[in-house]
Amino acid sequence: MRIAVLLSAGRHPVSGAAVLPRLEAQAIRIAAGLGTPVGLHAGPDAAAVADALGQGLSRIAHVALPEGADPVPVLAASLRAMAPDLVLAGRRGQGGDESGIVPYALAAALGLPLIADVVAVAPGEAAGTLRLDQSLGRGALRRVVVRGPVVATVHPDAPAPLAYAFGQARRGVIEPVAAIVPAGPAAAPAAVEERPYRRRPKLVKGAPTGGSAAERLKAATGEAGAAASGRLLVDPDPDEAAREILAYLRGIGVLAPPSPRPNP
């Protein structure tokens, strides 16, 4: 199976140093379990993604692209030439705009289906099909079986990346590939204004909107929540305690009610 992993020049969220985004390292791990993946990077400098060689790739195709140019036409042309069965990408970039639109634009340009937020990929039962597990959060999955080439984005709940191997990183090669189509013009600068990030208060769940400051403080510190209305049973009968616990768990909906159970 031919697999392409899209690599981006990421930045570390804290230090700002150039790193391989974790999602892409996870994508390499998924891909390495299926075959020998090839990395694909479009950008001014291939050194930015050289780390990916140590994470499990043996070959990276690099399309030189001026800084700030739109990578989608170039990537689409290269992928058309490579004709992979599976294209993996991170669900969001890291260090740039982080809008996560590139895989969607690519899938539209290639006319391929896109499956978002996968955590595992396996070959399907029928030939030419793939079984992808999409994350629904909290460990729940949606298992999708797709025919033929597909673009998939990787969710952070996917297995952790492989360990970095220095020897492998030295053996791997980065092949420059000529851009097949001229790079699109740099995307028109959208009318966005940038400022240093300012943290904003998260909404406090259950805070009264019109309440007094004291009420809002109580909601924020959790005093008004479960802890304030907390029930304390001192030395109850164990059976009584068990009933209370089950009633409480059912009240908050983490335990299924007893009566009509589908499985015997």
Query: Interface residues for another protein in 184-213 (CB under 8 A)?
Result: 190-198, 200, 202-203, 205, 209-212
Span of 26-34, 56-64, 147-155, 167-175 interacting with another protein by CB under 8 A: 147-155
Question: Should residue 217 be labelled a site residue for another protein when binding is judged by CB under 8 A?
Answer: no
Verify binding: residue 255, another protein, rule CB under 8 A: yes
**Rounded Cα gap, residues 14 and 232, in angstroms:** 43
C-beta of residue 34 within 8 angstroms of C-beta of residue 123: yes
**Binding letters toward another protein, positions 54-93, x by CB under 8 A:** ----------------------------------------
Of 8, 78, 148, 176, the residue at the interface with another protein (CB under 8 A) is 148
Whole-angstrom distance, CA of residue 115 vs CA of residue 130: 11
Of the pair 128, 176, the CB lying nearest another protein is at: 128
Q: Which is nearer to another protein, 45 or 157 (CB)?
A: 157
**112 contacts 87 by C-beta, under 8 angstroms:** yes
Which tokens belong to 154? 């990787």
CA angle 165, 170, 174 (to 5 degrees): 115
Per rule CB under 8 A, count of chain residues that contact another protein:
91
User: How many beta carbons lie within 10 A of that of residue 232, not counting itself?
Assistant: 4
Is 123 a binder of another protein (CB under 8 A)?
A: no
Q: Is 54 helix (H, G, I), strand (E, B) or coil?
A: helix
* CB 35 to another protein: min, Å: 20
For another protein, the binding residue among 70, 113, 122, 183 (CB under 8 A) is 113
Minimum Å distance from CB 2 to another protein? 17
Footprint on residues 7-46 left by another protein (CB under 8 A): 11-14, 16
Are residues 169 and 54 in contact, defined by beta-carbon separation less than 8 angstroms?
A: yes
CA distances from 104 to 139, 206, 250 (A): 24, 36, 41
Half-sphere exposure of 146 (CA within 13 A, CB side): 22
Asked if 119 and 143 count as a contact pair (C-beta separation under 8 A), the reply is no
Closer residue to another protein in complex, CB, 145/181: 145
Determine, following the binding rule CB under 8 A, whether residue 252 of this chain makes contact with another protein: yes
Q: Which of 66, 127, 189, 239 binds another protein (CB under 8 A)?
A: 239
Residue 38's alpha-carbon distances to 26, 28, 53, 86, 157, in angstroms, are: 14, 9, 10, 11, 23
Under rule CB under 8 A, residue 98 binds another protein: yes
Residue 127 as a binder of another protein (CB under 8 A): the answer is no
C-alpha distances in Å from residue 146, one per residue of 81, 94, 159, 173, 260: 22, 28, 21, 32, 35
Residue whose structure tokens are 């009420």: 215
Among 32, 105, 162, 169, binds another protein (CB under 8 A): 105
Per-residue mark of binding to another protein, 152-191 (x: CB under 8 A): ---x-x--------------------------------xx
Of the residues 66, 137, 185, 189, which one makes contact with another protein according to CB under 8 A: 137
